[in-house]
Structure 1
Amino acid sequence: MAVTGQDSKSDGEKINILMYIMGEESEDVTLQFTQQPSTNIIFERFKFNSRVQNSGETIESFITSLHSLAEHCDYGMLKDQLIRDRIVVGMSDVKTSEKLQLRDKLTLTECITIAKQAELQAIQSKELLGRQTQINKISATRRFTGANKGFRKHSERNQYEGYTRTR
């Protein structure tokens, strides 16, 4: 550009001058640099449709993953409905899935709310059952230990009085 005196031009103007000098071939060359590789819609949809909730994965994480997978699927206006369907079909909680399948006109928002509530309720139930089981174990241990102490005292007394111990 220094030879032609065009060195002071902006980068955009320099590119336009270069493309003009190159002629029609410049369009083919520049398209090779500017075009993004096309995504394989079929493969992206396969990844989306085969996604299921993994063991130990939270429903929140599963839903987030579905949203990011759906971005590359070109679903358009069906995107929310297909995410909703994938949540219902792919979630690990079978009871909640069945409950969602029975709902008429289920929206994505309702589906997410119900799934999150069911997961939270399951976590809380496990915690309550764990505490109840622990309380029952403590109560049973106290009863069992108390019964043994009484038996030992009775046996020891019998032994001292000259009686034989029978079991």
Structure 2
Amino acid sequence: MDRLKPPTELQFTGNVSENWRRFKLAYDIYEVAAKIDKEDQKVCAFNFLHVAGPAVHGVYKTFVFEQEGDDAKLGKICQQFESYCNPRKNITYERHVFFTRNTREGEEIDAYVTDLKTKAATCEFSTLQDSLIRDRIIGGIRNVHLRERLLREKDPTLEKCEEFCRASEASSMQLKELGETQGSSKSIHGIKNKQVSTKKIQKDLVRKGKQTSQRKDLNVNKRPRGPASLTWFFRSSDRRSG
């Protein structure tokens, strides 16, 4: 357990609010898994600062705590970072991002639902959160037939909606695999039929060649032989010249 890898250091570039949320979640898991939460509160606090990285130390020094000793309490330190990383939370914007989130090309339903739940967590939807996530799934999926199927359901729960989407995704993949298998079979049959047709043509050509050769032999055999052949030759010449 001592070798458990700590989370990545907290970064103050880009989306600082999201960086803090991710780091805090990762650290909470790490703290319990490494049994650091069993240590003295001062050890817990400074272990947090150590794992968070050098960039955090300068910010930490600027904090003003209400009571003496709060600067060595993890809970109080995290409250300060919460305020620092989320100074101007815009609920309207957060909800706009949520309500305009549609599935992307090739995105699996589980990844889409997970991202919706993450975005909903900052929207303060309260008791409406699950129903709004469900509505966003129905409105954001790319499969029109699946959307129609869900709209026909009478007030489906979020869990039911997720089940329908997973089942549809699985069946689409299975149909695609079956189509590829059938396409391969048709290609093989086409090649075989082409080979058969080629062989048939070759046989027909050989047969016709033999028949032509036999007719020529018959014509040759019909020609008179001996002295009569000269008479036959001149008569044939007269017919051609005439």
Query: What TM-score bracket applies, with the shorter chain setting the length?
Result: 0.7 to 0.9
The answer to whether structure 1 residue 44 and structure 2 residue 68 are counterparts is no
**Post-superposition offset of 1:35:** 3.2
Alignment match of 1:150 (pick from 197, 200, 224): 200
The one-letter code matched in structure 2 to 1:78 is L
Give the TM-score, by structure 1 length. Answer: 0.75
What does residue 66 of structure 1 align with? 116
What does residue 181 of structure 2 align with? 131
Q: Secondary structure at the match of 2:166?
A: helix
Q: Which has the higher contact order (CA 8 A, sep 6+)?
A: 1
Aligned residues: 139
Alignment match of 1:119 (pick from 169, 183, 186): 169
Percent identical pairs in the alignment equals 30
Counterpart Cα distance in 1 of 2:179 and 2:82: 60
The one-letter code matched in structure 1 to 2:155 is K
Large movers: runs of 4+ above 6 Å: none
The answer to whether structure 1 residue 53 and structure 2 residue 103 are counterparts is yes
The one-letter code matched in structure 2 to 1:69 is K
Structure ID, larger Rg: 2
Counterpart Cα distance in 2 of 1:114 and 1:95: 12
**TM-align CA RMSD:** 2.6
Q: Structure 1 stretches of 5 or more lacking a match? A: 1-9, 18-31
Counterpart Cα distance in 2 of 1:125 and 1:15: 63
Counterpart Cα distance in 1 of 2:184 and 2:83: 64
Counterpart Cα distance in 2 of 1:50 and 1:41: 14
Counterpart Cα distance in 2 of 1:143 and 1:69: 57
Q: Structure 2 stretches of 5 or more lacking a match? A: 1-41, 43-64, 69-79, 214-242
Deviates more, 1:51-60 or 1:150-159: 150-159
What does residue 27 of structure 1 align with? none
Q: Secondary structure at the match of 1:54?
A: coil
